[in-house]
Amino acid sequence: MKNNNNLTEAYTAVYMENITTETGAEHTQELITQLLDYLSKGQTIASFLYKSKGLGETALYNVHLNVDYKKAKEEDYKKLEAYEPETELEGQAKEHLLNLYRNPKARTQKQMDTYTNYGKGIRVNNNNGLLHLFGYKINKSTVADGVEKKDTRKELTKACDDLKAKLNFLHQKIRDFILDPQHIAGLKAKGNVIEFQQDDNGDSTGGV
């Protein structure tokens, strides 16, 4: 197992997926205002420590914000349409994916009311105050490994995932990062990188 004790001690702000917690709306709004200001100036890379609930991995991420998910999905759809399957299973996977793209599930009113959208891939969950950032992962530095899970995907599901990886689908690499604003003391820009920081006895933690 890969562990970096120095990074673990240095970066104390851990951002958890799907935690329900009440946070200060005013503080959250200040963070969003500052983040939108940085993005408007072309500073589009966010750096933060993040713990994934699914695998439990903790890593320092560099993420490209202000990405166009819809455009990326449209480009991936074009690649999928033009692709000639090499096996029968690939053909089934292609048709399954095309059907999903042509017939997307409609969002319910409840789902739409759950979030306040601020544009540029930024939204807040109105029920728990958590901050959602849509971004393209550039790289990550693992601080603590998670637990490897057994692959339980069905054959067609795995074939679809393999085909998306083969065609290098960009929209599949755009992730919804869920951050708890109460763990974010502030933001600081260094060049085109926005560091998410937490105060700890006068020290700040965030990106590289």
User: pLDDT tens for residues 99-148?
Assistant: 999 998 888 888 888 999 998 889 999 999 999 999 999 999 998 888 88
Residues in Cβ contact with 157 at an 8 Å cutoff, skipping those fewer than 6 apart: none
pLDDT at 21 over 50: no
Q: Which of 116, 117, 132, 130 is nearest to 22 (CA)?
A: 130
pLDDT of residue 144: 86
Residue-averaged pLDDT of the chain:
83
Give the pLDDT confidence of 131-144 residue by residue, as tens digits: 999 999 999 999 88
3-state secondary structure of 75: helix
pLDDT of residue 185: 87
Residue pair 62/139 in contact by the 8 Å Cβ criterion? yes
Mean pLDDT of 21-47: 87
Could you tell me the pTM of the whole model? Answer: 0.76
Q: Say how many domains are in the chain.
A: 1
151: tokens are 């692959």
142: tokens are 């693992």
Range of the domain at 115: 5-205
81: tokens are 């349409």
